[in-house]
Structure 1
Amino acid sequence: MRLVGNQLGWSEAKVSRVENAKQGITESDVSAILAVLRVTGSDRDRLLKMAREIGQPAWWELGRDLPEQLTALIDAEQRAVRITNVALNMIPGLLQTRAYTREVMERGGMPADELDDHISIRQVRQGVLTRKDPASLTAFIDETALLRPVGNGRVMAEQLRHVVSVSAADNVEIRVLPLKHGAHAGLSGTFVVYEFVRSRPIVYMEGRSSGAFIDDHDDVALFSDALERLRAQASGQAASREILSEYQERYESEA
């Protein structure tokens, strides 16, 4: 960094302040550094975008009084390049329709005056899958979640139709864990693994009133091993779409 500073004409004191995060850095500063380092193309665009937005509050911090745990979860989703969700009892949040989410939250005891806001937040969070640089999602869904009628037949048919539709995207992989295969590596509990460009992976385990993030390398490795086993135990993508479509048709007949 000091060599770069010399080429930019920065004092040693300024270089030290920037290196130790004691002084902010502007977009023009970043542009000059990238020019010295000969960084071009998409990497340059990404870093300049980060410099522009570094002082701006994230959307979930604007005028909202969200629980700290939810804020941390949303932050992980926004930064992740790959998300792997193991779901046992319900469709993962990033794949839920509004009607399905409403049923889940109402039955879970969400106060009526908070319900619409939390449903909207969950819908906005799904934007990580459709933005310009979308995260990749792999969802392992236990067949139990398809059997459980959340709401009426219409709600379930719409939900499963949505999952089948989303599964056609290049960045989304849906794998069903069939009941007929018995036990599988995910039965110990629902969890989500987040992978990032630079940071090491973390695991999120959701509880009734709070969740826990796990980032210890050895602990995360246990979940990574479970995911490898699940890939061997789950139905393939085409077979999973067939299973989802069969349940969709069943619920449509009940609607």
Structure 2
Amino acid sequence: MPPRKVVTGRSQEPRRRYAEELRRLRVARGLSLRELADLVGWDASLFGKLETGSSLGGPEVAEALDQFYGTPGLLLAMWEMALGDPTQFKEKYRRYIALEAEASSLWHFGVSVLPGLLQTEAYAYEVLALGGAKGKELEQQVAARTGRRVLLSGDNAPPFRAIIAEAVLRTPLRDAAAWREQLDYLLEVSEHPNITLQVLPSRAGLHGLVGTDVMFLRLPNGVTVAYAENAHRGELIEENAAVERLQRAYDAMRDEALSPAESRKFILRMLEEVPCDPSP
């Protein structure tokens, strides 16, 4: 098959194409970023990040720009395509991200950090910075990770279960306010009908996934794959027997975990222990 002919000469990557289209529409109106911000109602710095591709923003921004530019549904559709664009992730994660986007259900165990789908921007920033990312690369990685959270929202969001080791909730961010925001976010999402959070208490002892974070993805064809990760490497596991061994370990931990209601109470206790900012 001959290669697809490029007609416009513009980027074929959804994320970059979205950024290019936003800039093209603004320039065609003869507007500066500040003038656009005044007219649409968001900060000029956000529109700058959108046009450089360092942020995708949210669907509400795309919808507002669609209305402003008279392009009903176009920018929102481009935003959705950019959100699922695997090229925004490192090569080794791209196949996993593509599978995650089509999964019919997901379940996760976190022994070291919170699952990426539940991380606030500040949490993602600190975790990714520890991996060596910095500057624009770090901003892009944070935007890519937090942008994935939209996967768990909406009427057609897949069911998601996360078992979180107690040690994860006892390892705060350096900034107390940011840690409070993260714990508040966990409590918020735990009320969503498609999200189940459970805490694995330390008293449960050693278990089959010690030292390993793992995400299971049930695909539309009924096949389940797993992505296992430790401090040094990650691996997509598709071989049935290997996935089943991990699932048995996961099921054994779920039996030892606190109930969702008890887990909410545990997170609330962690929140109460976070020092408040002193009054001025």
TM (norm. structure 2) is 0.66
Q: Which amino acid aligns with 2:258?
A: S
Alpha-carbon distance, 1:98 to partner: 0.4
Distance, in Å, in 1 between the alignment partners of 2:141 and 2:99 is: 18
- What secondary structure is seen at the aligned counterpart in 2 of 1:131? coil
Q: Which amino acid aligns with 2:234?
A: G
Structure 1 residue runs of 5 or longer lacking an equivalent are: 1-52
- Name the structure 2 match of 1:127: 150
Q: Which amino acid aligns with 1:203?
A: A
Alpha-carbon distance, 1:80 to partner: 0.7
Alpha-carbon distance, 1:180 to partner: 2.6
- Name the structure 2 match of 1:245: 268
Pair 1:61-2:90 in alignment: no
- Name the structure 2 match of 1:181: 204
Distance, in Å, in 2 between the alignment partners of 1:209 and 1:163 is: 26
Alpha-carbon distance, 1:101 to partner: 0.9
Distance, in Å, in 1 between the alignment partners of 2:88 and 2:150 is: 21
Match of 1:195 among 196, 218, 222: 218
Q: Which amino acid aligns with 1:226?
A: A
Partner deviation per Cα, 1:76-115 (whole Å, 9 max, x = no partner): 2101111111101111110000011111122221122211
Distance, in Å, in 1 between the alignment partners of 2:89 and 2:264 is: 35
- Name the structure 1 match of 2:125: 102
Alpha-carbon distance, 1:197 to partner: 1.8
Q: 1:145 to 1:129 in 2, by over 3 A?
A: same
- What secondary structure is seen at the aligned counterpart in 2 of 1:90? coil
Contact 1:69–1:210, Cα closer than 8 Å, also in 2 = no
- What secondary structure is seen at the aligned counterpart in 2 of 1:151? coil
Contact 1:60–1:71, Cα closer than 8 Å, also in 2 = no
Distance, in Å, in 2 between the alignment partners of 1:210 and 1:139 is: 21
Distance, in Å, in 1 between the alignment partners of 2:165 and 2:197 is: 11
Q: Which amino acid aligns with 2:202?
A: L
- Name the structure 2 match of 1:231: 254
Pair 1:166-2:194 in alignment: no
Q: Which amino acid aligns with 2:85?
A: E
Alpha-carbon distance, 1:211 to partner: 2.0
Runs of 4+ more than 6 Å apart = none
When the two structures are aligned, how many residues end up with a matched partner?
A: 201
Distance, in Å, in 2 between the alignment partners of 1:179 and 1:207 is: 19
Match of 2:104 among 65, 70, 81: 81
1:23-34 matched pairs, under 5 angstroms: none
Q: Which amino acid aligns with 1:167?
A: S
Alpha-carbon distance, 1:74 to partner: 1.4
- What secondary structure is seen at the aligned counterpart in 2 of 1:161? helix
Alpha-carbon distance, 1:132 to partner: 3.4
Contact 1:97–1:162, Cα closer than 8 Å, also in 2 = yes
Alpha-carbon distance, 1:60 to partner: 4.2
Contact 1:202–1:214, Cα closer than 8 Å, also in 2 = yes
Residue identity over aligned pairs, in percent, reads 25
- Name the structure 2 match of 1:116: 139
Q: Which has the larger radius of gyration?
A: 1
- Name the structure 2 match of 1:33: none
Alpha-carbon distance, 1:182 to partner: 2.2
Q: Which moved more, 1:181-190 or 1:138-147?
A: 181-190
Contact 1:78–1:128, Cα closer than 8 Å, also in 2 = yes
Contact 1:140–1:234, Cα closer than 8 Å, also in 2 = yes
Pair 1:71-2:105 in alignment: no
- What secondary structure is seen at the aligned counterpart in 1 of 2:109? strand
Contact 1:184–1:233, Cα closer than 8 Å, also in 2 = no
Distance, in Å, in 2 between the alignment partners of 1:254 and 1:161 is: 16
Distance, in Å, in 2 between the alignment partners of 1:201 and 1:124 is: 24
- What secondary structure is seen at the aligned counterpart in 1 of 2:274? helix
If asked which structure has higher relative contact order (CA below 8 Å, sep 6+), I would say 1
Contact 2:124–2:146, Cα closer than 8 Å, also in 1 = no
1:16-55 matched pairs, under 5 angstroms: none
